[in-house]
Structure 1
Amino acid sequence: MLLALMTDLHANREALSACLAHAEQQKVTHYAFLGDIVGYGADPAWVLQKVMDYVAKGALVLMGNHDAGILQEDKGDMNPVARQAVEWTRAQLSAEQIAFIRALPYRIELQDMLLVHANAWAPDKWEYIDGVMEAMRSMHACKAAITFCGHVHMPTLYHMTLTGKTGEFLPTPESSIPLSKQRRWLVIPGSVGQPRDGNPAACYATFDTDTQELTYFRVPYDHDSAAKKILAAGLPASLAARLLTGN
């Protein structure tokens, strides 16, 4: 099974389209969307419907904090930009799409893998994995050999030895990384729809369950058009600027 791991799509039609086309070229057989399907971007209905279409064909999908925000009346815990985007987004979605979001799980177990949006210790609390300590906490909170998660918009790979020593690795795109069964792993694929590592190209990863090889990809897309659509929708200009700079 060659599994594509896409997270933090953030209603970016151009980025998702580019990543799906790229994944098809890689002969991906299965898809997992790790949450934050909507929020920030200008095409929430299109992006969510595309994910729903893939789920109908067997893809996996998780609840993210921006997806959950669509369902919440009290958004006091969100910053003003995120709150404005969520409120605008909700008005763009159909009743069927909102019902789809409401049914999303916070975690999925698949073989010896765990899929979550934010972390394994409290998947519905949206705490970030910002470094080695949080990665260690997440890996200790589950039994999975490999945990895949989003929420952090920067591609990162953590590994933990049998003695508990944990390290961090910044992956090189298109370089295959063998995930040894002598270690445990936490994989953050980066963001499809709103990269924040200084590179505006969309980011996702694939994992081959037969060879245990992980590969990160950067996919250029028309971020100028995506940014202009954000401005045309009346959303905060900072959201458009982020797509142009990748920060």
Structure 2
Amino acid sequence: MLTAILTDIHANREALAACLAHAQEKRAQRYAFLGDLVGYGADPGWVVQTVMEHVARGGIAVQGNHDQATVQGGSASMHAQARQVVEWTRSQLAPEHLRFLEQLPLTQQSGHCLYVHATAADPGSWEYINGTLEAVKSMHATQCRITFVGHVHEPALYNLSLTGKISSFVPTGDSSIPLSTQRRWLVLPGSVGQPRDGNPAACYALFDDASNELTYFRVPYDHDLAAEKIRAAGLPPALAERLLEGR
């Protein structure tokens, strides 16, 4: 089955629509969403509704830290701007959208693949996988051969050999990689809605479990429109600037 792996959409309708259209052209058969559907962007309702529809048709979705924060509401310990975004996002979501976010699991498993927003080692800690130590810890926490992870906003790929040797790879542009069945893999597809690697094009990946081939894609989208919507909603202007710069 050909599965589209999308994460960190962050309420960016334009980016998600572009990636879904691209995946459809590539004949994706299933869609997996690795959390942070909301936060930062101006279209949380549309994004959550779209993901709900894919899940109803057999798609996979897990909860991210921004999804959890939106359900729970802003806390006094949060930065003022973060609390503003959370409360605004809550005001834009219908009750069924909030219920959907609340009921999302922290992990899902399908075959030899595990789907999680942060780390398999402790999904609710929201620990970032910033290097090989965190990647190995996450891979050792599951029996699954492939772990798909979001949260980091930059594409990367880690693998662990049968002898315990770890190596990593940072894909550039559109990259296809065969995932050897003799290794364990941790896949970071990058962010759909807020890339942070200096390239404003949306990121997502396709995984073919028949050929064990993983393909990373960069998909241009109308980030000017997405940024203008953020400004029009009265959200912090820095969130709009990040989309234009890919930072």
The correspondence of residues 84-123 of structure 1 with structure 2, limited to 5 A, is 84-123=84-123
Once the two structures are superposed, what CA deviation does each residue of 1:89-137 show, in whole Å capped at 9, x if it has no partner? Answer: 0010011111111110000011011100000011111010011110011
**Paired residue for 1:220?**
220
Q: Is the CA contact 1:36–1:64 (under 8 Å) kept in the aligned structure 2? A: yes
Which amino acid is the alignment partner of residue 91 of structure 1? S
Secondary structure (helix, strand or coil) at the match of 1:28 reads coil
**Paired residue for 1:151?**
151
Which amino acid is the alignment partner of residue 124 of structure 1? G
Aligned identity (percent) is 61
The correspondence of residues 30-49 of structure 1 with structure 2, limited to 5 A, is 30-49=30-49
**What is the alpha-carbon distance in structure 1 between the residues aligned to residue 241 and residue 2 of structure 2?**
34
Give the drift of 1:58: 1.0
- Tell me whether 1:179 sits opposite 2:179 in the alignment: yes
Give the drift of 1:81: 3.0
Q: Is the CA contact 1:173–1:215 (under 8 Å) kept in the aligned structure 2? A: no
Q: Is the CA contact 2:112–2:144 (under 8 Å) kept in the aligned structure 1? A: yes
Gaps of 5+ in 2: none
Give the drift of 1:86: 1.2
**What is the alpha-carbon distance in structure 2 between the residues aligned to residue 59 and residue 245 of structure 1?**
31
Indicate how the Cα distance of structure 1 residues 240 and 144 shifts in structure 2: closer, same or farther if over 3 A, else same: same
**What is the alpha-carbon distance in structure 1 between the residues aligned to residue 24 and residue 220 of structure 2?**
15
Which amino acid is the alignment partner of residue 138 of structure 1? S
The correspondence of residues 25-64 of structure 1 with structure 2, limited to 5 A, is 25-64=25-64
Give the drift of 1:165: 1.3
Task: Return the TM-score normalized by structure 1.
Answer: 0.97
**Paired residue for 1:229?**
229
- Which structure 1 residue ranges, 4+ long, deviate > 2 Å from structure 2? 73-83, 172-175
Task: Return the TM-score normalized by structure 2.
Answer: 0.97
Gaps of 5+ in 1: none
**Paired residue for 1:81?**
81
The correspondence of residues 191-206 of structure 1 with structure 2, limited to 5 A, is 191-206=191-206
**What is the alpha-carbon distance in structure 1 between the residues aligned to residue 75 and residue 24 of structure 2?**
37
Secondary structure (helix, strand or coil) at the match of 2:123 reads coil
